[in-house]
A and B are shown apart, each in its own frame.
Chain A
Amino acid sequence: MTVGTPRRVLWHPLVAAALIGAAATGGVLLHIGAVSVAALIGWLVAGAAGGFAVSGST
């Protein structure tokens, strides 16, 4: 990250991806713990990862 102002760190694309990654980790842990909402979190995270992944330029 070239400039470290809070705004540029908070809204950095790497941070957004890490947020999705953290949610995925949570979903997997809930799945391992046999928590019933894990599947829905999984679908939500898979969707978000797919949606955010198309952010790159063509």
Chain B
Amino acid sequence: MKKILLIEDEELIIKLLSKKLDAAGYDVALAMNGQEGIEKMRENMPDLVLLDIVMPRMGGFEVMAEMKKDEKLAKIPVIIISNSGQPLELERAKELGAADWLVKTEFDPKEVADKIQKYIGE
């Protein structure tokens, strides 16, 4: 079973997405902020990280910068799920090695699951 780490601070989104991903057959781990996310990554190497950008304490960009420093973590594909998505942000995410950027209002949980499948399979 492929392991997915969802780093997201909004409770409703966590609940909806983990339900959808469970149903799609993924093993979903949760982290409510960036710092917790990095710790969980080190404990239990996920196959893919779903990452929010605006979070308390440590945001998504900082998480990616931290991952880039660690040889092992740098290899994990990262899909950003955010409510924003401006060119400068996309550019920065690309530089930091993000695989994809999904704007939450333009995608729904099913489409997020489809994207994940595209990157790591079922």
Do these two chains interact? Answer: no
A interface residue numbers (CB < 8 A to B): none
B interface residue numbers (CB < 8 A to A): none
